[in-house]
Amino acid sequence: MKRIWICLLWLACLCPMYGQGLRILFIGDSITDGNWGNSDGSAMPSAGRNLWDMNHIYGSGYMYLCASYYQSKYPGKGYEFFNRGISGNALADLEKRWEEDAIALKPDILSVLVGTNDIHYYIGGPHAEPFDTLGWEKRYRALLDRSLRANPNLKLVLGAPFTAFTGSMKESEGFALRDSLVHTLARIVKRIAVEYKAVYLPYDEMFETLLREEPSSRDTYWIWDGIHPTPAGHRRMSELWIKEVERAGIL
């Protein structure tokens, strides 16, 4: 009997190290997606992707870099990372899949980056009416509230959308409007982050600083098409994520 109790105690000590770590979920659009689960660059829903091939489970963007950093540095902590970015998604798309792709995964940390496609679709439409910033903010808050009701101890990491006048963006019309709306949504996300005591990631300011203070011979060095980061840009995004999350002490 004594030997059994010793074995049970030993197993109990192992549990916090293996399979009992924090669950960290990244959700958003193509910037987060990074072709995770072999989606072939499509907007394939999460259920249709490869969820077991560890060579492609995180995609190839900043989310992958964050996950690989923590899992390689702390192998004994059992951190579980999930990528639920889907290319082309706007806030309305996140609303449709929030239960399945956010709440059902029961994350301890939820990282959200959205807004670029809301602006992109608005600019591509008739935009006879002003962009509904108040409605966007209300819906963004509603998603966070749903997750917080499911897990009151949930920690939030909120990223600001961004853009740049680089690459093919120089050939498109409406950049001034896009840039203005990006900054508007970034301010909204920052305000929400303050009120919800979330970690805020000023990606818009980060890329503006990089383009200004660390220029390259190619204007596409950090963001190749005005929307999507290059590998170098994704690296800087992951560094900011890690720095601010560790500053907040939530991971």
pLDDT in tens, 104-128: 999 999 999 999 999 999 998 887 7
CB 77 within 8 A of CB 52: no
pLDDT at 127: 78
Strands, sheet with 80-85, edge to edge from the N-terminal-most edge strand = 80-85, 23-28, 109-113, 155-159, 199-201
- pLDDT tens profile 41-60: 778 889 889 888 888 899 99
pLDDT at 4: 41
Q: What residues of the chain score a pLDDT lower than 50?
A: 1-19
Q: Which residue in 62, 5, 110, 6 sits closest to 229, CA to CA?
A: 62
pLDDT at 8: 37
CATH number of 24-248: 3.40.50.1110
Q: How far apart are CA 123 and CA 215, in angstroms?
A: 28
Handedness of CA 127, 131, 135, 141 (dihedral sign): positive
Q: How far apart are CA 133 and CA 44, in angstroms?
A: 28
Q: Determine how β-strand 80-85 pairs with β-strand 109-113.
A: unpaired
Q: How far from chain centre, in Å, is Cα 40?
A: 19
pLDDT at 126: 84
Domain boundaries, the chain: 24-248
